[in-house]
Every structure is written in structure tokens, then in C-alpha cells.
Amino acid sequence: MISGKTGSTSAGELSNWNRFSSLFYPHSVTVVGASPDFKKLGYHCMKSLIMSGFPGKIYPVHPRLPEIDGFKAYSSVKSVPGKVDLAIIAVRSSLVPQLLNECAEIGVKGVVLITAGFKEIEDESGAALQNEIATIADRADIKVIGPNTFGFVNLHANLNASFTPEFSLTPKGDISLVSQSGGFCHLMAPLAMLEQVGMSKIIGIGNRCNVEFADILEYMADDPDTRVIMIYVEGTDNARRLFEVASRVTGKKPIVAFKAGRFSLGDKAAYSHTGSMAGKHEIYTAAFKQAGIVVADSPTELLDVARALSLCPLPRGNRVAILSGQAGPSIIMSDVCEQNGLLLADFSSETTERVHLLLPPLAMRSNPIDMGPAWYDSETIRKVVEVVLADGNTDGVLLYAAYASANRPLLKELTTVLKSRAHGRPVVCCFPSPPGVWVEEKQEFVESGVALYPTPERTARAMCGLVRYARERREE
Amino acid sequence: MISGKTGSTSAGELSNWNRFSSLFYPHSVTVVGASPDFKKLGYHCMKSLIMSGFPGKIYPVHPRLPEIDGFKAYSSVKSVPGKVDLAIIAVRSSLVPQLLNECAEIGVKGVVLITAGFKEIEDESGAALQNEIATIADRADIKVIGPNTFGFVNLHANLNASFTPEFSLTPKGDISLVSQSGGFCHLMAPLAMLEQVGMSKIIGIGNRCNVEFADILEYMADDPDTRVIMIYVEGTDNARRLFEVASRVTGKKPIVAFKAGRFSLGDKAAYSHTGSMAGKHEIYTAAFKQAGIVVADSPTELLDVARALSLCPLPRGNRVAILSGQAGPSIIMSDVCEQNGLLLADFSSETTERVHLLLPPLAMRSNPIDMGPAWYDSETIRKVVEVVLADGNTDGVLLYAAYASANRPLLKELTTVLKSRAHGRPVVCCFPSPPGVWVEEKQEFVESGVALYPTPERTARAMCGLVRYARERREE
């Protein structure tokens, strides 16, 4: 456990918090089911640990082999010589109860149970087996991620406790994802890599034998490495507790949710009850909103809103300015903003005057400001941006400019003003460009925390999410 | 003009068609306003022509310089020695009428008028000037793209007649874009580059002095290099003609439209009339649909649906199969499908039996088929895909599988079945993966025309667009 990471919760919860902290920041990890065979998930779990550069002890467990991936292997959990904080288990389901008992004996604090074949299978023996392991784990106070999970990755601990080594390539940041579906994590992590969104923890909670959404949210409320929480929910057995905990957490940190299963739940039986499913979905989203959770309409929007919340100060209201080097995309952005209840700010008379002096007579100078006629005069564009950012009547700014070779100097010109946080307002930007141009400029923006998006509608939706969370906070 | 490209329309229209063909496939181009100064748009127009590898004659026109970019320059349009098919004009607006007269004298067939300062400016002198040039152009039967345009690119003629050289990097294909906004083209072309969507022509029609949406659509109906047409519309003076022409064109080729300006039209005056604007927007989209145009909700959806229409056979109905290596994303896809009126196909009993034999007992085997329990058994996944593709009860297939290192062999295994067109059904795929893995496999898919999308919701929306167009075609 990394020192100094203690929660500020009450005594009873503190213990839970410390348990989770040992799970997410372990000193030592055992992989039960470690294997030299590519076709075994334990093979990939070992690769993940190694690729993540995990600095603690690694103990592969294999019934016969003396060594795996250069690490001394042990024939059983109980023969591991040192203390074990986290056990990653990828063996067949019938072996799991006995293994958990052994983990309890040696004082393991957390388990990632990758093994499938529990509650999710059609045979009721699966549910029985899951109850059995939950009882063992609860008695020993072992926190179990899973069963039927891909695991988790904690980029702040250089720990990839999953069967996908490439998760270690995700950029490090302060957004955590708690997902009911491992498949969803395998969608979001590559998106975060591609778009350079900084992540903290990515957790697939699987069948949730004794760790539910609410438990992780409680932990994350005091996790110093998490600033924004994304959740992917299909459904949960204890929705009431989820909403209660979420209500508390959203007062401290934003939660953004994406709920799947609006229409069917993916099988024919559920499909024939579409109506009730849709009703259930509506109840979920209403409860989310009441708990102060920002609800996203798609996986992409989930990531976009989380990124804005991670990078931007909160807007004080819903009055935005839209600045665009091209008129078309500014219309797209204002469509999205107005559809979501945002207002186009009335600029102060001083701002209006200064913009009038900067833009040629043929410019549309109200809000949105079409900077089109000056689009390849980077200095003027920068001055307009500065003037609008200084306007006390705006709560946030959307800035759009597409590359067109004549405006190649633009992003360099905008660097100082965009990197400055002096204005205290959220600024979301969209700078579409062909591959190979504006690359270094955008990289500098990403590294300095400027919120960049690839399309005008995603840029606008990110701002709408920011405004929604800020409004919920004010209304509390 | 490339030989053999003649339209099948009547005599009067044929002449128009040939005029446009000369504009889009010229033998010779003059750049009026060509310049060695980076700050002049004519500088960038010359770079564009050169970067596109245009094989015809290039005649820069400059009042004094003897040479620009290695090409002999001429002091006026009239002093150009050869025949000129296309003139790209980037000089100040007051010079344009005289220049157009000179173009008429030497028999220029088409003009790209990049110059701004016409109808779009607040001063009424702009509208007057635009009327003046429209009269000159009409009299000489010169087709004018613009004024106030970035130009166009025709990837099939190696012709970049715009001020943005990088447009030449767009992959060549059979989707054309006709856009009211140059800014929109500068958003879509980089998207097409990034996602490797093959484009034919990208045209910014600007202020439309004598070439409207309808004219280009009429031309494209018989353009052998265009299979799918995307349009971006904010508003148009002659909507009735647009809808009439579009109704005819959609019987031959799909048109996908994105309409901006749902709420405001981007300035304060229009904003205060939001109600009427929204009404206008509804009328537009209703008329689009009546004309058989597929309406997209965002720029991204516009591109996604066009890509599906370009690559896939049309579905015969609305019954789809959803196959997924992970349950979560299959729920996301079925949500989108059902929200858009698609049905989850009932498999034949033969299909069901064969799937039962392939998947382990713990799989969800109805539709969607969760291939989860076999997710790292590539051969089984391939067999399930083959069985479902052969089912006569399905009109289209959505296939999802995320990379997870244990399933690294999957895409290779799927190559033959996905590249085969024998099943005659549209298949849309989503294979999320971290950078650096599945790269060659995906590249092979892209090159062989498999429709790939980056997220499950975009995959599903693309299928919905296909089904919508096919339904319109059947109902005609």
C-alpha cells in the first residue's frame, strides 16, 4: 500500500477503505493459474503484470513448473514465502472455493477472480458456487473483484491486474472507470489511448460476488488518484445503495454514467418485455440524475464529459461563448448547446467594442463569433479569444478552428492563452487537422491539460456535461 | 475531360453535365492570384495543385512575376497561351467581374471563386457584386463554384482546386461531399483520412452564385466516380428544386444529409426567432426524408452511413443479427438498433442448432449472440459468424470483438469470411484495439472493403442508415 493514502471516513469504513487500498496498491501479487501456455488466461495475466512494470513482488503459482516468465513459481498459494496482498486467480471454477480458503489462511486482502462459470451461467450450480465463494470471502474480509472479470489496472501503482497487457499503455491521469462489463473496458481503454485521455483505474467488477459499484464508489470518494469517476451500468441488485452512495460521492467528485439496456437486455426473453425494460431504464437514469450523476448518451460522450471534468474548472453558469474560425461548425456547436439548455452569452459592451475593432467589417460579431474573415490572421484570432475569455458574462468558451495550411501558425499563436488558467473558465477546443500537421502543437496542448475534442458536436456535448455537473453541485 | 464520362440525360442537360465534367475533370487550370507569399490564398492554391499531382497544364497568373513554383506565370488570363478549362480565382472581390469577362472571352468552362466579400457580407454592395458576376457567368455558361469557397478536390482527377494542399491526402473512393460550408469540409476530410474512408469529390459550394446543391446533385447522378453523396446543408434559396432533384437522384444513388441550424442560425437575430428556425429545420428534414435522403444526426453519422452505403450491399429488410465477443457492447448495439426500428432476427432452427453445437453451454445463444465464453477461441467464433451469415432470416449482421491479447489470432481467422461477399448481406464490424495491435489485420479489412467502425454505437447507427435507405428504395 502506498503510504499516506488514508481515507477521511469513519472507523468502520476506514477498514474497508484500507482493504481496497491494499487491493489497488498491493506490495505483492500472486497469480494462481500462471502458465506458459498462450491459450490460458493466466499466461496473459503474467504478461500484464510484467508489462505494467509492477514494482512489488510477483509470485506465480503453478502445480508443477519451477519458474514462469523468469519468476520463481510456487506449487500452491500456501507455499508462497512472503505476505500476499493481492491474488489474481485464473483457474477453473471448481477449484476456486478451496483457493479462497487458502488465500484467507495466508492473509490475502484482495482477489481478482478472472474465472468465469458462476452466477452468469444458465445452470443454477453457478449461482450456488458464487454464494459459496462470497461466504468464504466475506468471512475472511477479502475484497473480490469478479468473478467473471478481466481484472483491473491501476496506472498510479504500475499495476495491471488483468489478462490484457496492453491496458498498461493507457495514459496515466485522474479518471477512473468502474464497469459492469469487461468488454466495455476493452472499448474505452483503446479510446483513451487513441485520444490521450488520462486514466487512473479501470475496473471490471464482473459478477460482483462481494464488491458492488457502491463499494468502489465509496473507496474512490477518498482515492487521491481519482478526480472523476465513470461508471458503466447494465443493472444491479442493490440499486438503492448505489444511488445513496453516489449522492454522497457526487458532492465530492463528479460521477458520469452510461447505462446500457435501454431497449432490450440482449436476449430474446428480455426483448419481449421491451416496455418494462425501457421503464426500468428510465427509472435508472432519473435516479442517476437525482444522485447528481451526469448521464451520458454513449460511450464516447462518457469519456468526453469525464475528460472535460478532469481538465476544466467548473463553469459558474450556463452562458457560453462560441468562437469559430469557420461558420458551419459554430452552428453545429450552438445547436448542441441550445438543445441542452445552454445559453449563448451576451457579451459586455466592452467585449463587443473590442471584437468590433479586431474583426473586419464583414464578420458576424455577436455570439457565436464567426472569425471566418480573419481565419488566417492568427494574431487577430488570438486577440479575439483573449477578449472573450476576459468577459465576465461568459461561463465557458467553445473554440473551433480547422487546419487549412494558410492558418498553420494559429495553434502556436494560441498556445499561451490556452495554457493559461488565469481566466478561470472552462475552455473546450476542437482543432481538426489532417495527419501530420498541428501534431506538436496539439501534443503540447494535451500535455498541458487543454481539453481537445475531435468533432464540434463532441466538443459541445463535453461542455454541456460540465454545465450539468456544475448545476447539480450548485443546487445541492 | 476524361473520355467516356458522358451522362445519360437529355440534350439540354447534357450540355450542363459536360460543363460540370470540364470543371471537375479539366485538362488545364489557371490560378489567378497565384503568389509566392504564404499570406495569400493563391500561394496555397498553387501548393494544392502541385501536391495533388495534377497531370494537366498549370498556368499561374500574376501581374509581374515571370514564374511561380517553377511554373511560367502569365500577366493576365488572356495572355495564357493554351485552352483553359478551369480558373481558380483568389484575388480581391472588386477585380472579379473583369476577370470573369476575360475568362468568358477565352472560353473557360468552370471557375472556382475563392474570393470572399460577396453576398455573405453585411453591406449590400456584396449582394450587388454577386448578382453582377452571376450575370456574367450565366451569359458565358461558366459554372462557378463559390464565391467565398475553399474550392474543391477531385481525387479521381488528381485535382486539388482548393487552398488546402492536405486535402490531397484523403483516400480515394466513391463518396462525394457537397457542402455549404468550407469549414465543414475541413472537418470531414481529416476524419475521412483518420478513418480511411474513401472519397471522390469534396466540394464547398460557398455562396452559390450560379451553382446550387441541385446542380451538383444532377451532375453526380451520372458521375461514374460517385456512388454515395453526402450533403451538408444550412439552408438554401431554392429548397423546392433541391428536393425535386434529390428525389430523382436517390432512386439511383444514395444521398445522406446532415442539416445544421436546428436551433439558432448562429447569430443573435436568428437566435431570437428560435421557434421559427426550429420549425424550418423540421420542414427541411421532413422534405429530405420524403425525397429518399437519409438524414444523419451528426457529422460523424453522416460519414459512417455514407461509408456503409459505399461498402455494403443493401439489406433486404430490417432484421439484423448481433454477434459479440463481449456482452456489454452487444447491448449497446441492440439499444441503437431497436431505437431505430430494426428487429433482432429470429434465426432458423438450423442456425440455432448449429450455434448450440458451437458455443459452450454457458453462452447466450439467441440474438444477440454473446460469444463471450468462446471469446478467445477464434475458430469457434469464426464458425458462429459463418453460420449466422448463412441464415436466410437475417438481413444484416453487426459483429463486435474487442482485442484482449488472448484473442489476438481472431482477426486473421475472420479474414476470409469477412472478405467474402458470397453471403450478399451487409456486415458492419467493430474491433476496438490498442494502438500497435491488429493493425495489419484491420488494414487488410479496410483495403478489401470491410466496413469497420470505432465504437459499437457508430457501428449500429451505420447499419440503421443502410436499412433506412434500403427501405426508401423499396417503397418507391
Q: Do B116 and A373 touch (CB under 8 A)?
A: yes
Grade residue B267 by pLDDT with cuts at 50, 70 and 90: very low
ipTM of this complex: 0.93
Burial class for A269, CB neighbours closer than 10 Å (0-12, 13-18, 19+): exposed
Answer yes or no: do B186 and A44 touch at CB < 8 A: no
Query: Does the pLDDT of residue A119 top 50, yes or no?
Result: yes
Give the closest-approach CA distance of A393 to chain B in angstroms.
16
Is 70 exceeded by the pLDDT of residue B269?
A: no
Contacts of A263 in chain B (CB under 8 A): 334-335, 338-339
Beta-carbon separation of B183 and A434 below 8 A: no
Q: Which of A120, A268, A324 sits opposite B366 (nearest CB)?
A: A268
- Residue among A180, A362, A381 with most chain B CBs within 10 A, to mutate: A362
| The pLDDT of residue B99 | 98
Burial A402-439 (b: 16+ CB within 10 A, else e): bbbbbbbebbebbeebbeeeebebbbbbbbbbbeebbe
A364–B405 C-beta distance less than 8 A:
no
Q: What's the mean pLDDT in A336-350?
A: 94
Q: How confident is the model at residue A124 (pLDDT cuts 50, 70, 90)?
A: confident
Buried b (16+ CB within 10 A) or exposed e, A245-261: bbbebbeebbbbbbbbb
Summarised one tens digit per residue, pLDDT across range B118-170 is 888 878 899 999 999 999 999 999 999 999 999 999 999 999 999 999 999 99
Residue A124 and residue A40 in contact, taking contact as beta carbons nearer than 8 Å: no
Scanning every residue of chain A, which has its alpha carbon at the shortest distance from the alpha carbon of B328?
Answer: A181
Mean pLDDT over all residues of chain A? 91
End-to-end CA distance of chain A: 34
Q: Which of A162, A26, A164, A11 is nearest to A103 (CA)?
A: A26
Q: Binning pLDDT at 50, 70 and 90, where does residue A275 land?
A: very low
- CA-nearest of A463, A421, A468, A178 to A304 is A463
Measured between beta carbons, the chain B residues lying within 8 angstroms of A115 are: none
What's the pLDDT at A6? 44
Q: What percent of chain B has pLDDT over 70?
A: 92
The DSSP result for A345-360, as a single string, is: PPPPHHHHHHHHHHS-
Is the pLDDT at A277 greater than 70, yes or no?
A: no
Checking if the pLDDT of B270 tops 50, the result is: no
B191 contacts A432? CB cut-off 8 A:
yes
Specify the range with the lowest mean pLDDT, choosing from A114-128, A371-385, B271-285.
B271-285
For β-strands A67-68 and A71-72, DSSP reports them as antiparallel
Please report the pLDDT score of residue A282 as a whole number. Answer: 83
Identity (one letter) of the amino acid at B37? D
Share of chain A above pLDDT 90, in %: 81
- Give me the residues paired with residue A316 across strands: none
Q: Which of A46-55, A358-367, B343-352, B427-436 has the lowest mean pLDDT?
A: A358-367
Integer Cα distance of B285 and A370 in angstroms: 25
pLDDT at A276: 39
Counting every residue written for chain A, the total comes to: 476
- Write the residue in B43, B44, B186 that is nearest to A402 by C-beta: B186
Position B424 pLDDT exceeds 50 = yes
Q: Rounded to 5 degrees, what are φ and ψ at A348?
A: -65, 160
Q: What is the mean pLDDT of residues B321-340?
A: 93
Best B52, B186, B319, B366 residue to mutate vs chain A (most A CBs within 10 Å):
B186
Closest CA to A165 of A50, A331, A83: A50
Distances from the Cα of B398 to the Cα of B130, B325, B453, angstroms = 49, 11, 11
What pLDDT is stored for residue A123 in this prediction? 80
* CA-based nearest residue to A159, from A21, A24, A19: A24
Amino acid at B28: S
Note the Cα B396 to chain centre separation in Å.
Answer: 23
pLDDT of residue A283: 86
Dist CA A358 CA A380 (whole Å): 6
pLDDT of residue A475: 77
Considering only the beta carbons, identify the residue of A47, A187, A328 that sits closest to B432.
A187
Compare CB distances from B331 to A169, A265, A327 and report the shortest one's residue: A265
Distance between CA A101 and CA A105 in Å, rounded?
6
CB contact under 8 A, A263 and B329: no
Measured between beta carbons, which residues in chain B are less than 8 angstroms from residue A126?
Answer: 362
The pLDDT confidence band at residue B361, using thresholds 50, 70 and 90, is low
Q: Is the pLDDT of residue B447 over 50?
A: yes
What secondary structure does DSSP assign to B346-400, as a single string?
Answer: PPPHHHHHHHHHHS-TTSB-SSSEE-GGGTT-HHHHHHHHHHHHT-TT-SEEEEE
Interface residue of B166, B187, B413, B430 to substitute, partner A, most A CBs within 10 Å: B187
Burial class (CB in 10 A: 0-12, 13-18, 19+), A440: exposed
β-bridge pairing A159-162 and A228-233 = unpaired
pTM of the model: 0.94
* A424/A447 Cα distance (integer angstroms): 19
Q: What is the distance between the alpha carbons of residues A391 and A424, in angstroms, rounded to a whole number?
A: 11
Identify the bridge partners of residue A397 per DSSP, sorted by sequence position.
Answer: A321, A427
* Cell representation of residue B406: 488472448
Residue to substitute from B334, B356, B367, interface A, most A β-carbons within 10 A: B334
Q: Do A434 and B190 touch (CB under 8 A)?
A: yes
Q: Percent of chain B scored above 90 by pLDDT?
A: 81
Pairing mode of beta strands B67-68, B71-72: antiparallel
Disruptive mutation site among A114, A334, A459 for chain B (greatest number of B CBs within 10 Å): A334
Give the three cell numbers for residue A24. 489497488
User: Residue B23 has what pLDDT?
Assistant: 97
Give B346→chain A minimum CA distance, Å: 9
Which pLDDT does position B130 carry in this prediction? Answer: 95
Cell of A370: 464567426
Collect all residues with Cβ–Cβ distance below 8 Å to B82 and sequence separation of at least 6. Answer: B28, B57, B59
* pLDDT exceeds cutoff 80 at B33: yes
Q: Which residue of A has its CA nearest to B119?
A: A362
Indicate which of A264, A376, A413 best probes the interface with B, i.e. most B CBs within 10 Å of its own CB.
A264
pLDDT higher than 50, residue B8: no
Q: Which residues of A touch B325 (CB under 8 A)?
A: 183
pLDDT level of residue A12 (50, 70, 90 thresholds): very low
Rounded to an integer, the average pLDDT of A288-307 is 96
CB-nearest partner of A362 from B122, B165, B264: B122
The per-residue pLDDT for range B42-76, each reduced to its tens digit, is: 999 999 999 999 999 999 999 999 999 999 999 99
What confidence tens digit (pLDDT) does each residue in B86-103 have? 999 999 999 999 999 999
Name, in order, each residue with C-beta under 8 angstroms of A149's C-beta and a sequence gap of 6 or more.
A112, A113, A114, A182, A204, A205, A206, A207
Q: How far apart are CA B262 and CA A299, in angstroms?
A: 24
Q: How confident is the model at residue B29 (pLDDT cuts 50, 70, 90)?
A: very high
Residue-range domains of chain A with CATH: 11-308 (3.40.50.261), 313-475 (3.40.50.261)
Arithmetic mean of pLDDT, B439-454: 96
Q: How far apart are CA B341 and CA B310, in angstroms?
A: 22
Quickly state the pLDDT bin for A169 (edges 50, 70, 90): very high
Determine, for residues B332 and A117 on separate chains, whether the beta-carbon distance falls below 8 Å: no
CB B381 within 8 A of CB B325: yes
**Residue A387 near residue A355 (C-beta atoms within 8 A):** yes
Task: Give me the residue from B117, B326, B338 closest to A264, CB to CB.
Answer: B338
Contact A276, A250 (CB under 8 A): no
Q: Which residue of A has its CA nearest to B345?
A: A268
Whole-number Å distance between alpha carbons of A231 and A294: 10
Q: State whether B362 and A122 contact (CB < 8 Å).
A: yes
> Residue B234: what pLDDT?
87
Size of interface A-B (CB pairs under 8 A): 259
CA distances from A71 to A24, A62, B218, B258 (A): 22, 11, 70, 57
- Residue A41 to residue B344, Cβ atoms within 8 A: no
How many Å apart are CA B442 and CA B425, to the nearest integer? 20
User: Which amino acid, one-letter code, is at B82?
Assistant: G
Of the partner residues A47, A182, A299, the one whose CB lies closest to the CB of residue B326: A182
Cell numbers for B278, please give them: 426550429
Q: How far is CA B331 from CA A11, A233, A242, B322, in A?
A: 40, 11, 21, 9
What is the C-alpha to C-alpha distance for residues B208 and B202, in angstroms, rounded to an integer?
A: 15
Distance from the Cα of A343 to chain B's closest Cα (Å) equals 10
Q: Give residue B147's identity as a one-letter amino acid code.
A: P
Label residue A360 exposed, middle or buried (CB < 10 Å: 0-12, 13-18, 19+): middle
How many angstroms away from the CA of A103 is the closest CA of chain B?
A: 26
Cell representation of residue A437: 500537421
Of A67-71, A393-397, B272-276, the least confident:
B272-276
Q: Which residues of A touch B369 (CB under 8 A)?
A: none
Nearest CB neighbour to B299, from listed A193, A265, A332: A332
- Mapping DSSP to helix (H, G, I), strand (E, B) and coil, where does residue A436 land? coil
Q: How confident is the model over A160-189, as a mean pLDDT? A: 97
Q: What DSSP designation does B78 have?
A: G
For the cut 90, the answer to whether the pLDDT of residue A90 exceeds it is yes
Question: From the centroid of its chain, how far is CA B428?
Answer: 18
pLDDT tens per residue across span B170-198: 999 999 999 999 999 999 999 999 999 99
How many other C-beta atoms are found inside a 10 Å radius of the C-beta of residue B81? 9
Find the closest chain B residue to A363 by CA distance: B121
- Nearest-CA distance from B338 to chain A in Å? 7
Contact: B181, A326; criterion CB under 8 Å: yes
Chain B residues with beta carbon closer than 8 angstroms to that of A182? 326, 328
Q: What is the mean pLDDT of residues B346-369?
A: 85
Chain B CB contacts of A37 below 8 Å: none
Q: Which three cell numbers stand for residue A356?
A: 468590433
Report how far residue B213's alpha carbon sits from residue B224's, in angstroms, rounded to the nearest whole number.
18
